[in-house]
Each structure stands twice: as C-alpha cells, then as structure tokens.
A and B are shown apart, each in its own frame.
Chain A
Amino acid sequence: NAGVTQTPKFQVLKTGQSMTLQCAQDMNHEYMSWYRQDPGMGLRLIHYSVGAGITDQGEVPNGYNVSRSTTEDFPLRLLSAAPSQTSVYFCASRGEGETDTQYFGPGTRLTVL
C-alpha cells in the first residue's frame, strides 16, 4: 500500500512551457485534491474531485486544469507556466468513511524561470 504518490519530485520549467504533475493513490479514495504551498501562506486549495469524472475549483484555480478519468489518478496540468506558479504542490486524498482526514503525498517542487 503506497498511499499517495506524486511525480516528479522536482521540476524546472521555462515561462510558457506546459507540464503535468502526476498524482496517484491506491487506497480507493473517492476524494482527491491539489494544493500549493508557498512561504508564509500555508497550503491553498487549487482543485478537488469527489469522484471519477467530477472536479471543482478551490481557492486558487487559475492557470491550472484537472481531470479525473479514474479513481486512482488525479493529474494537475499547467498549460502555460508562469513564475508565479513556482511553488511546492501537494496532492491529497480522503476516503468516503473518513469525512475529515486527508492523506498527503510527498510533494512536487516546481520552479518556473
């Protein structure tokens, strides 16, 4: 049981490039979320999903796209990276029976030059 996994661990992009951050969980959790962590600001919710085919916006969704084609995977896409998207990105999941507890992945550190 690997829990929540994220790839890559580190990534450097140039402004305007696109990329996808991968997130997968093997706990059969319905609920998955993406957060970004910036110094002095804690974690902010980008997008979340309540099940395959269903996604919704969080606090800071602009510049990011998501989709949920399977229960296990929840990729985050940056279509045209900007320096303001330099951050650490965390994926999290939550089970149906655990209404409050989220399980976090190890994070992806992204730098946009």
Chain B
Amino acid sequence: GNSVTQMEGPVTLSEEAFLTINCTYTATGYPSLFWYVQYPGEGLQLLLKATKADDKGSNKGFEATYRKETTSFHLEKGSVQVSDSAVYFCALSEWDNFNKFYFGSGTKLNVKP
C-alpha cells in the first residue's frame, strides 16, 4: 500500500539556521510527491511538488528532490525565518488516481528569533 513517513517534531531552530525535514514514502507505480504547509488556524497550502524521479520542487527558498532510489523527498531550506514557523506535511498522490492523497503525520517547525 501507499504510505508516507516523516520525522517527528517539533523541530526548533534559530533564525537563519539550515532546515531539513526528512520524508520517505512507500508507493506502487510512480507517485507525485508534495510538501504542504499549515499555518496556525488555517488549511493546508501547497508549498512545492515533484512529479517524477530526480525532479526538484522549489518555492519560497524551500527545496525538495524526488529520489526514487531512496524513496525520499526531504525538505530543505538554507536559512529559515520566524515566519516559516508552521506544520509541514509530506504527501503523495497515487500515480493512477490523482484523487487519492496520502499524508505524513506532519512536522511542527518552531523558528526562534
């Protein structure tokens, strides 16, 4: 079956520190991979995505590379800001059914000034 595993939080960093949030997946076929972000009291927003192996998704300084050989999609940012504090979800969609998404449990990021 399909599943997503991501590192447990919370992750606490100082402003301008380097961020990595690990995500690995199990899937059949060729899923698309995503990172969504949830700010307090809000719904999820798409942060970035990658639809095939070796693709790199990027947005707002965040990056993640689709690694089929290690079934991973780790999120990175070179210099975090206080405004990046949120919960980050890794997700995949089935390759033959884009309506079926599977989400990880979420990683809370706290960035201190």
Contact = CB atoms under 8 A, between A and B. Distances in A.
B43 to A, nearest CB: 4
A100 B44 contact: no
B42 A106 contact: yes
Contacts of B41: 106
A100 B99 contact: no
Contact of B98 (A42, A100, A104): A100
Contacts of B73: none
A25 to B, nearest CB: 12
B interface SS class: strand
Interface residues of A, number: 27
**Interface size range on B against A:** 20 to 34
Interface in A37-78: 40-45, 48, 50, 56, 58-59
Given A42-B4, A100-B34, A106 B101 contact: no
Contacts of B89: 42-43
A100 B32 contact: yes
A103 B36 CA distance: 10
B100 A100 contact: no
Interface of B: 4, 32, 34, 36, 41-46, 49, 51, 89, 91, 93, 98-106
